[in-house]
Amino acid sequence: MPLRLNLYHELHLQKKQKAYDPLKITFLVLIVTASVMAVYYFSILREKMAAVSTLKNKVAEYKELTIAETAAKTREVELNTQISNAAFLVERMEKRFYWPGFLEELSKSITPKIQITTLNADAGKETNKVMVTIEGVIGSVEHPRISAGDFLKTISQKFSSKYKKVEVKFREGSIRDTPNTITLKTGEILKTATYTLEVQFATKD
Amino acid sequence: MALKLTKEEKKKIAIGVTLFIVFVVSYFMLLVDPAKAAKIKADDDLKALLPKIEAAKKQIDKVKNMEVEAPEIKLILNQVDSMIPSGPPDTWFPPKLQEILKSCGIENPIVTKSTESTVNELKDYKQLSWDMEIPQITFFDLCVALQTIENQETLFEITYIKIESNDLNPERLNLHFGINNLIRK
């Protein structure tokens, strides 16, 4: 068998050493790492710039809207005042207490034997309430006080058909027999008593 | 064959590794972290701003919807203002009332101003109270007068009435009544 001598082993070793040079390998690794790091950084930078740009646009939008919003708030106050004024005025006009209706009901309760000398009616002191005081003279053939009681019932019935929460009563000690008499046109002579009737009722529920 | 490193080479490797670590740490501390923090801040600021933008848009839309009703409201207010003559009330209220009562056949009512007050619910208006006196009036004329005032002047509010019989003439009554009216401030 011929003898094979590898006279190139030193060259081979040198080549191998050159190929697997640690410094070369280190530089390669460093380049790859630096590239990855650069790509990563630029992607984060891109995201950051996109977010900042969106924020800038929204800030500009908000600045414009703020001016319009301030004007809108002022206008809202104005409109609310106008709306509440209009609503109050309409309600004031529609919910006024109508006196002819009240006088009509009262006149329906009066008979020739009942005289009113003073009528005081106030719709302004308490909201939605009317307070009435009626002073007068009541006549009857036999018992004026009984006629006064009938008058109270009539007033109560008539007013209850038109108003709410009607309260009718005689003022304490106001029914007094008098020595005077009344002669009607028919010739009837009536005994008399004075009275003070207090009525109150509600104009709204 | 194990790699044999000289002392010099070991020193160089150590310096290299140290530099690498410093580079990596600096990369994160000086570049990546600030960029990330800036992005997070921008996102947070945007998150905080979006509701404000929504609220501003809602406010603007709300007023736009209110403006739809505005002409009707303005019409009511203009109609009310047209019912209030210009000038001091002392110069127009008594003549106005006298004219109304004259149309009912009532001459020379006595008109006196009572009080002036503000109305809490109406910022732009104030209320005047007047006392009226009509002597020697029949019950029928009294009812007609009150009805005419109420129908013709919707801004007038009759607050009280006082009727007294007349001893000399039982068919004639003395009427006192109060009226509130509104004027612009």
> Does residue A26 sit in the same domain as residue A67?
yes
Place of tokens 């003070």: A196
Between CA A127 and CA B132 the distance in angstroms is 22
Mean pLDDT of A157-163: 92
- Please provide the distance, in angstroms rounded to a whole number, between the alpha carbons at the two ends of chain B: 110
> Does residue A181 sit in the same domain as residue A140?
yes
Rounded to two decimals, the ipTM of the complex is 0.77
Mean pLDDT of A168-195: 89
**What CATH number is given to the structural domain containing A175?**
3.30.70
A90 CB neighbours in chain B (<8 A) are 76
Residue A23 has pLDDT above 80, yes or no: no
Q: Taking the CA of residue A44 as centre, how many other CA atoms within 13 Å lie in the half-sphere pointing to its CB?
A: 17
| Class of B89-184 in CATH | alpha beta
B57 CB neighbours in chain A (<8 A) are 65
> Does residue A195 sit in the same domain as residue A103?
yes
Q: In the structure, what pLDDT confidence band is assigned to residue A20 with cuts at 50, 70 and 90?
A: confident
Residue B1 has pLDDT above 50, yes or no: no
B178 CB neighbours in chain A (<8 A) are 124
C-alpha distances in angstroms, A151 versus A50, A130, A137, B26? 90, 19, 11, 106
> Does residue A48 sit in the same domain as residue A121?
no
Last residue of a domain, one of A94, A119, A154: A94
Which residue ranges make up each domain of chain B? 7-82, 89-184
pLDDT tens per residue across span B131-168: 999 988 999 999 999 999 999 999 999 999 999 988 77
pLDDT tens per residue across span B12-26: 889 988 988 999 999
Q: Which domain holds residue A111?
A: 99-202
Q: Is the dihedral of CA B109, B115, B121, B124 positive or negative?
A: positive
> Does residue A65 sit in the same domain as residue A154?
no
Between CA A105 and CA A158 the distance in angstroms is 6
State the virtual CA torsion across A113, A182, A141, A115 in degrees, nearest 10: 20
**Domain count of the fold of chain A:** 2
Last residue of a domain, one of A94, A115, A133: A94
More confident residue, B12 or A86: A86
Interface of A with B in 26-45 (CB under 8 A): 26, 30, 37, 40-41, 44-45
Residue A51 has pLDDT above 90, yes or no: yes
Mean pLDDT of chain B: 91
Last residue of a domain, one of A35, A69, A94: A94
> Does residue A82 sit in the same domain as residue A147?
no
Mean pLDDT of A24-38: 88
